[in-house]
Chain A
Amino acid sequence: MKVSIKVNGVAYERDVEPRTLLAYFLREACGLTGTHVGCDTSSCGCCVVVLDGTTAVKACTMFAAQVDGREVMTVEGLADGGTLHPIQQAFWDQHGLQCGFCTPGMMLTSYVLLKNNPDPSEAEIREGLSGNLCRCTGYQNIVKAVRQASEVLRQAPAAAK
């Protein structure tokens, strides 16, 4: 079947099988490998992308066909050219990653979290990220990064998309 999906502002028209999962559509049909596949069963959150700018979804548990005609943002869509998004800058500054495998999902879940709650408490950040697993960091620096991003985005909302 033909689908037309806007990813990071670019329209991708592709012929896919209905069983094509969104994560594999992004990686294989669009060549956007920043969406990682970890557990493949909606547990780990490495494949989180943003749907229509408002909803964080696990792309391994959704078919590309469901997203036909809609907009997806992947981690590749966060930066503005060479300028990192405040969430990316915060993960850099706070050492919010080690191996980096979970990072795209962490950042995109944080993106929606901060849209819905611009000034979350530490507990709210930990709760909001509880569907995203990290095997390296122990989460401390991830939480610090989201706090930094929250502060930066509240001071300069224009930096946010």
Chain B
Amino acid sequence: MIPAPFEYVRARSLDEALAHLQQHGGDARVLAGGQSLVPAMRFRLARPAVLVDINSVQELDHVRTDGVLTIGALARDVAIERAPWIGDTRWSLLHDVSRVVADPVVRQMATVVGSLCHNDPAGDWTTAALAARAEVIVRGKGGERTVGIDEFLVDSFATAVQDGEMAVAVRFPMPDDRTAGSYQKIERKVGDFATAAAAVQISLDAGGRIGKAGVALSAAGPCAVRVAEAESMLTGQTPTADLLRAVSDAAFRRSEPQADLRGTVEYKKHLAGVLVTRGLRQALARLGVQA
């Protein structure tokens, strides 16, 4: 289908983009990679009156690692997939996601921040951002504010970005030295949304105990969900098979998926538990630990 008519404006700078967004308020949407927004417009699920194209705003096209990882609103998925640091075990969660989000052609256009802003219930970057405790930089008329990812992801296809505002970057805190993660996704075919997926990131202290733990699920609720119970069960503990089983049960309980063509509620809840265990096993293996 062809999208409903709209007015197209190409912003040359961030200030210009914000001026357009403030002028048009809730009628305007930002066009970055467009890999979620354009299909949504084609299905008439989205009918913005104005599209503000930010693809010429070079200042938003950056990936920086200076004490914290900052990914600008125009950085494509492929920039993460091919980042020089992506092989570092500490970033293994992002490594995994960057290889399974959408497909290799879509990743040349799609952006990380755009995916967060789309906030699909079965999103991949949203789930990883929860597990890695990212924060989103939102800019508007009154300046910039930093929003924790838990507050940013409000509901299906809804975020904390207000009318006239724009998400300009996402920040991932630099993981501790002995940190690893994993992203486990079940999909019907390459490029499909997750039937179920789990993001985990853990760090080990000098004594081999889990210092920090992040556990989140995709396709398990209105948007990506944090499994806080699993995180507190893991924190401070030495990883064992029994602990992993208990964490898997917590993920199963937390998952509240919708039945659809990809699977039943029962099946998806089962996957949530299994995938969290697999993710933790892989993250631990990446740190040289068997559990």
Contact = CB atoms under 8 A, between A and B. Distances in A.
Q: Output the residue of A40, A42, A58, A127 with the most chain B CB within 10 A.
A: A42
Interface in A103-133: 109, 112, 127-132
Interface size class of B (residues with CB under 8 A): 20 to 34
Interface in B1-34: 1-8, 10, 31, 34
B285 interface: no
B51 interface: yes
Nearest to B190: A130
A5 B55 CA distance: 16
B184 to A, nearest CB: 18
B105 A17 contact: no
B8 A55 contact: no
B109 interface: yes
B53 interface: yes
A18 B7 contact: yes
A96 B51 CA distance: 40
A54 to B, nearest CB: 9
A131 B106 contact: yes
Query: Interface residue tally of chain A, by bracket?
Result: 20 to 34
Q: Indicate the member of B6, B53, B190 with the most A CB atoms within 10 Å.
A: B190
Interface string A1-45: 100000000000000011101001000000000000000111101
A108 B41 CA distance: 26
A65 interface: yes
Nearest to A19: B3
A24 B53 CA distance: 20
Given A40-B42, A57-B109, A63-B38, A131 B4 contact: no
Contacts of A42: 35, 38-39, 106
Contacts of B102: 131
A55 to B, nearest CB: 5
B6 A21 contact: no
B108 interface: yes
Contacts of A72: none
Given A61-B38, A66-B53, A19 B4 contact: yes
A132 B53 CA distance: 27
Given A42-B39, A57-B105, A131 B34 contact: no
Contact of B105 (A21, A40, A58, A65): A58
A96 B153 CA distance: 45
Nearest to A54: B108
B103 interface: yes
Contact of A21 (B2, B8, B55, B104): B2
A66 B31 contact: yes
B5 A17 contact: yes
Nearest to B103: A131
A62 interface: yes
Contacts of B35: 42, 61
A131 B5 contact: no
Given A61-B109, A62-B34, 16 more contacts: A1-B8, A19-B2, A19-B41, A21-B2, A41-B39, A55-B109, A56-B105, A61-B39, A63-B8, A65-B53, A66-B55, A109-B104, A109-B105, A112-B108, A131-B102, A131-B105
28 contacts: A18-B5, A18-B6, A18-B7, A18-B51, A19-B4, A19-B5, A19-B6, A21-B38, A24-B2, A41-B42, A55-B109, A56-B105, A57-B105, A61-B39, A61-B106, A62-B34, A62-B109, A63-B38, A63-B51, A65-B53, A66-B53, A129-B104, A130-B103, A131-B102, A131-B104, A131-B105, A131-B106, A132-B105
Interchain residue pairs A-B with the least CB separation, the first 6: A131-B103, A18-B8, A130-B190, A131-B105, A19-B3, A61-B38
Interface of A: 1, 17-19, 21, 24, 40-43, 45, 48, 55-58, 61-63, 65-66, 68, 109, 112, 127-132
